[in-house]
Structure 1
């Protein structure tokens, strides 16, 4: 078995094609791993059928060990523990059932160059809900594929030129067939506010205006308040193609759920985002002391400083200041 260096450890079975490398089998011993972009100067362009499926049988091909350093003697080569995976930017095709039964996979990082996803490629990837995509203008078809295959809540970050362009939350939904005994048939019902979000694509193009138009209908039906808060925040934080009227709607929602939004940003540990939230929602006199109490509970000195600064700026004659953690 030939050994090459890489940023993650993999045991690969590959085939050299005219256009590049096809990975027929790939297994890693790491929970977060990136497939190599190139091998011997050739781009990795395809994943074969069942390429990463745990328990898939061997296939004929060239075996390669990709190593990023000494491996622990008890390393377990089993994709069942793979949680975070990065696909090559050069990847163009993904075979049938390529990630079948990667049941722990939660985060997928990839470009928008893949023009074919095989049948059942992400079947049984029940935890998969987070995507980070590097976009070149073809992300709509890729995103439509994932949104159509995965009815659960999705958290999608779209990057352009190395910077975050926008971040979108797709609320979950469920399609259920329920037996109607007296009529001797099954009724088809959709539960949850996410169906429209998962299908707001036209000609495999992401339509952000259609996405934003779903906001008021979602609030009018039963929905997850925490999900709605995060959806509104990320649209304001990265406002690609966001109109002033819709931004105001998101802003009003965050203002009415200000403490929940502060708690969420405290969990992220980014004081700069907290400063932006305060500028967007202009919290009232009652909310700021409660937010300060949350920061103290979490011993987050940076966030507490931001909140106290805001309190002093807007309500200089307010309650006595307490800088203790």
Structure 2
């Protein structure tokens, strides 16, 4: 990949990227200098009036718009210009660090396809995690990592949207909020993420979202129990045990076989719950997963005794 950039006082600021791979990993440094900034409209393909690239870049396709599928930001990034990812409809995942200090206006405008965020968080100092979440209103799976890159938790942030409703007689416009996702995006003390507050919101998501999403959220918190208190864990297990079939169906769709086996061996999931999981595996037509669950059921509860047979002549 080639970069077109400007030199700044603290490093370089990228103006355009050229290459063939839709998984764009901007290097931490380029030509011996740290990459500290991304220019405005960097990945937008709708900007008019851009100058012709220098001769050495001619022939290299510009990475922009729907071509960009995944984006890994440099570790030293401090500034991202306005509308840097404008209308990147194909963008599904973004990886970054919480130390980005300046996010320009409308950076994620048109990025409606983003499903995953992978973020390394420095607990001390200002974090941009809250700022990113406020821009992305769709359902979002977040890999929350420590500063060293170790995965601490996998979090699900539900979708939400606002609707303006006109009260004609009163001549006023009222704003209505739909979905509990906006509450999950307020789980912060300043800019520091409050995982305890995240867990306390679970009763809201159970009544506003479908079991497929709720079981995913609960299982991720239980499987990666960073900061998880006993009371919150019990609430998650109660829901998962009561919706074991929905939980298994979601796990199988996502191909999370490790979580499938771990859940099936967990004490809160009893014989009935394992039966629901087996039914889900049978409906999915995956013989290997069904066999795994059958083995675990035999390990935990033993063989089911055959009923005595009687014959009459």
Per the TM superposition, whether the score is higher than 0.5 is: yes
Instruction: Report the counterpart of residue 58 of structure 1 in structure 2.
Output: 50
| Distance in 1 of aligned mates of 2:241 and 2:150 | 27
SS of 2:118 mapped into structure 1: strand
- 1:196 is the counterpart of 2:188: no
5+ residue gaps, structure 2: 307-313
The 3 A distance-change label for structure 1 pair 52 and 177 is same
Deviation at 1:278, TM superposition (A): 2.0
Of the candidates 134, 146, 152, which is equivalent to residue 165 of structure 1? 152
- 1:205 is the counterpart of 2:165: no
Q: Per-residue displacement from partner, 1:76-125 (whole Å, max 9, x unpaired)?
A: 75432212111111211101111111122121011222111011111111
| Distance in 1 of aligned mates of 2:245 and 2:254 | 15
| Maintained 8 Å contact 2:12/2:35 | yes
TM-score normalised per structure 2: 0.87
Deviation at 1:202, TM superposition (A): 2.0
Deviation at 1:43, TM superposition (A): 1.2
Deviation at 1:291, TM superposition (A): 2.8
Deviation at 1:169, TM superposition (A): 0.8
Q: Per-residue displacement from partner, 1:289-324 (whole Å, max 9, x unpaired)?
A: 44335435555455334312221122213278xxxx
Of the candidates 139, 151, 164, which is equivalent to residue 153 of structure 1? 139
Instruction: Report the counterpart of residue 104 of structure 2 in structure 1.
Output: 118
Task: State the Cα RMSD in Å.
Answer: 2.7
Deviation at 1:277, TM superposition (A): 1.2
5+ residue gaps, structure 1: 1-8, 321-325
Q: Per-residue displacement from partner, 1:149-169 (whole Å, max 9, x unpaired)?
A: 122211110122332101111
| Distance in 2 of aligned mates of 1:266 and 1:286 | 18
Instruction: Report the counterpart of residue 233 of structure 2 in structure 1.
Output: 247
Of the candidates 26, 30, 41, which is equivalent to residue 21 of structure 2? 30
SS of 1:141 mapped into structure 2: coil
Instruction: Report the counterpart of residue 43 of structure 1 in structure 2.
Output: 34
- 1:309 is the counterpart of 2:300: no
SS of 2:261 mapped into structure 1: helix
Of the candidates 163, 187, 206, which is equivalent to residue 174 of structure 2? 187
| Distance in 2 of aligned mates of 1:130 and 1:140 | 22
The 3 A distance-change label for structure 1 pair 64 and 84 is farther
| Maintained 8 Å contact 1:13/1:63 | no
SS of 1:303 mapped into structure 2: helix
Deviation at 1:222, TM superposition (A): 2.8
